[in-house]
C-alpha cells in the first residue's frame, strides 16, 4: 500500500509556485469539445483527475498532445458522445461533460455519477436546467441518455448556486439558439475562468462571477489558447502549513482576492500575511489562536474545500473553534483520524467543536477523500514524531507532487511505494 510518511515538527520555509486550479482545468478541458478545431491549455496541473479527463477526451475521439503543463486538444475527430460508467464513477465531476457533449453532438450518454465520500451530490439542478433548454433526458441501466438537436436559450434559476450546474449550463448555452440567463449562479473564480476561456473561443458570456450570468448563443466556436488560474485551495492549504508549523512561506502566483475568507480567518488566528513583489508571504511564529466560528458557504463565503485543512489548524490552536459545514453533508470524515493523532473534536450533525491541544502526535492514519487527506498531511507536519498516511490516491487527485513541494520547503516528507 502506498503511503506518505512525515516526520513532524519542522517549520516550513521557502517558496512555492501555486499549481493550476483543478476545479478550473476540468470544465475548461470539457469545453474544448465545443469546437472542431484545436485548443491549447496552459498551466494544467499534473493530477489524477486531469489524467482521467484526458482519458475521457481520448475516448471521445479527441487527439491529445501533452508537454509539461500544456495540453493540446484537437477535437476535430470527435466521434463518440458517450462517457463510460467506470470513468464517471471514478471522477464524479465528469458530469461537466454533459452540457458540452450535448451541445456539440446533439446527444450525450454518460454513466450516472455514483455517491461520493463527502455526500450524495445529486445532479438534479444540472438536469432540470438542461431539460429547460429543450433536452430530453432519461435514465437507463445506470446511464443518462440525453438528446436535443438544438438547445434553446432560456431563463434558468438555480435553487442553489451550484458550481457544477452553473458550468454545465454555460457549456450547453454557448452554442444554443438565443440567450440564456442564469440567476442565482455560482460566483466562484473558476466560473470566471471558464467564461474567460469560452469567450476566447468566440462565446458571448457576460456577468460571470456575479449571480446573474447571460450567455448569448453563437452558431460556432473556434479553438483558443488559455492559461488556467492558480489553485486557490492548494494555496490556502500551504498558507495553513505555515501557520501550523510556525514557519514562513512565499506563495508565487497566488491570487489573494480569490482567498479573502481564508486570509481573514488566518489573520484572526495570528498569521501575518502580506502581498509583496515576490508573491503572498505568510509568517506565524507563535501558537495560532482559535477562531470563533467557521461556516462554509458558497463563494465568496468560506470554502467547504478549506474546511478540513482549517480544522487541522484549529486542532492545535489556543482555544476552542466551531465549524459548521453547510455545503456537503458528510465532510467530517477526517475528524476520526485527527482524533487518532490527539485532536479534541466533537461532531454533532453538521457542526464540530474543536478544542485546541498543545500538540498532536504522529500516528498511522488514512485519507478517505481529497481535502481531508490534505488535512492529515498538515496535522502530520505539526505533530510530534512520525505519521504514516495511506489513501494517498485521494490526495493525488488535487495536489501536484505534494511530497516534492513540501520537502523542498524543509518538511521531512516522503512517499513510500509498495
Residues labelled as active-site residues: 116
Phi, psi dihedrals of residue 164, rounded to the nearest 5°: -60, -40
Taking the least distance from each CB to ligand UD1, the nearer of 328 and 394 is 328
Task: Tell me how far apart the alpha carbons of residues 134 and 137 are, in angstroms, rounded to a whole number.
Answer: 9
Of all residues in the shown chain, the one whose CB is closest to ligand UD1 is 164
- The answer to whether the CB of 418 falls within 8 A of the CB of 12 is no
Task: Tell me how far apart the alpha carbons of residues 18 and 24 are, in angstroms, rounded to a whole number.
Answer: 14
Task: Tell me how far apart the alpha carbons of residues 138 and 145 are, in angstroms, rounded to a whole number.
Answer: 5
Task: Tell me how far apart the alpha carbons of residues 393 and 288 are, in angstroms, rounded to a whole number.
Answer: 30
Taking the least distance from each CB to ligand UD1, the nearer of 126 and 334 is 126
Cell (9 digits) for 222 = 473556434
- The answer to whether the CB of 355 falls within 8 A of the CB of 342 is no
Taking the least distance from each CB to ligand UD1, the nearer of 144 and 186 is 186
Task: Tell me how far apart the alpha carbons of residues 33 and 89 are, in angstroms, rounded to a whole number.
Answer: 21
Tell me which residues touch ligand UD1 (CB under 6 A): 23, 26, 93, 119, 121-126, 160, 162-165, 186, 303-305, 327-328
Query: Residue 342 Cβ, how far from ligand UD1 at the closest point, in Å?
Result: 28
- Rounded to the nearest 5 percent, the helix, strand and coil shares of the chain are 35, 30, 35
Query: Residue 92 Cβ, how far from ligand UD1 at the closest point, in Å?
Result: 7
Phi, psi dihedrals of residue 386, rounded to the nearest 5°: -105, 135
Query: Residue 358 Cβ, how far from ligand UD1 at the closest point, in Å?
Result: 31
> Can you list the positions of beta strands (E) in 86-174?
107-111, 136-140, 143-147, 155-157
Taking the least distance from each CB to ligand UD1, the nearer of 3 and 331 is 331
Query: Residue 221 Cβ, how far from ligand UD1 at the closest point, in Å?
Result: 22
Taking the least distance from each CB to ligand UD1, the nearer of 119 and 207 is 119
Query: Residue 30 Cβ, how far from ligand UD1 at the closest point, in Å?
Result: 10
Cell (9 digits) for 408 = 523542498
Relative to beta strand 279-283, strand 248-252 is antiparallel
Amino acid at each position: 500500500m502506498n503511503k506518505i510518511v512525515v516526520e513532524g515538527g519542522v517549520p516550513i520555509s521557502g517558496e512555492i509556485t501555486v499549481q493550476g486550479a483543478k476545479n478550473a482545468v476540468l470544465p475548461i478541458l470539457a469545453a474544448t469539445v465545443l469546437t472542431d478545431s484545436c485548443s491549447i491549455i496552459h498551466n494544467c496541473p499534473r493530477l489524477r483527475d486531469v489524467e482521467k479527463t484526458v482519458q475521457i477526451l481520448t475516448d471521445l475521439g479527441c487527439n491529445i498532445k501533452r508537454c509539461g503543463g500544456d495540453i493540446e486538444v484537437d477535437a476535430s475527430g470527435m466521434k463518440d458522445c458517450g462517457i463510460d460508467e467506470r470513468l464517471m464513477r471514478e471522477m464524479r465531476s465528469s458530469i461537466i461533460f454533459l452540457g458540452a457533449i450535448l451541445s456539440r453532438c446533439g446527444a450525450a450518454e454518460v454513466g450516472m455519477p455514483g455517491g461520493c465520500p463527502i455526500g450524495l451530490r445529486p445532479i438534479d439542478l444540472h438536469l432540470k436546467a438542461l431539460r429547460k433548454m429543450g433536452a430530453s433526458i432519461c435514465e437507463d441501466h445506470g446511464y443518462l441518455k440525453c438528446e436535443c438537436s438544438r438547445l434553446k436559450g432560456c431563463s434558468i434559476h438555480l435553487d442553489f448556486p451550484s458550481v457544477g450546474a452553473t458550468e454545465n449550463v454555460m457549456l450547453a448555452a454557448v452554442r444554443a439558439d438565443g440567450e440564456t440567463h442564469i440567476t442565482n449562479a455560482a460566483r466562484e473564480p473558476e466560473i470566471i475562468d471558464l467564461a474567460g476561456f469560452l469567450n476566447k473561443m468566440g462565446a458571448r458570456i457576460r456577468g460571470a462571477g456575479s449571480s446573474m450570468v447571460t450567455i448569448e448563443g453563437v452558431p460556432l466556436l473556434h479553438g483558443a489558447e488559455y492559461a488556467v488560474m492558480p489553485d486557490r485551495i492548494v494555496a490556502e492549504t500551504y498558507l495553513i502549513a505555515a501557520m501550523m508549523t510556525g514557519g514562513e512561506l512565499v506563495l508565487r502566483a497566488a491570487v489573494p482576492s480569490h482567498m479573502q475568507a481564508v486570509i481573514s480567518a488566518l489573520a484572526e488566528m495570528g498569521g501575518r500575511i502580506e502581498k509583496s513583489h515576490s508573491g503572498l508571504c505568510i509568517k506565524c511564529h507563535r501558537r495560532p489562536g482559535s477562531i470563533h466560528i467557521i461556516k462554509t458557504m458558497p463563494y465568496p463565503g468560506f470554502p467547504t474545500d478549506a474546511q478540513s485543512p482549517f480544522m487541522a489548524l484549529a486542532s492545535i490552536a489556543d482555544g476552542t473553534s466551531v465549524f459548521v459545514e453547510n455545503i456537503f453533508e458528510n465532510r467530517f470524515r477526517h475528524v476520526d483520524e485527527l482524533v487518532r493523532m490527539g485532536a479534541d473534536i466533537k461532531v454533532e450533525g453538521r457542526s464540530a467543536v474543536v478544542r485546541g491541544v498543545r500538540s498532536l502526535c504522529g500516528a498511522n492514519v488514512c485519507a478517505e477523500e481529497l481535502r481531508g487527506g490534505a488535512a492529515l498531511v498538515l496535522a502530520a507536519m505539526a505533530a510530534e514524531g512520525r505519521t504514516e498516511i495511506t489513501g494517498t490516491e485521494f490526495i493525488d487527485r488535487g495536489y501536484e507532487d505534494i511530497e516534492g513541494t513540501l520537502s523542498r520547503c524543509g518538511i521531512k516528507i516522503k512517499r513510500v511505494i509498495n
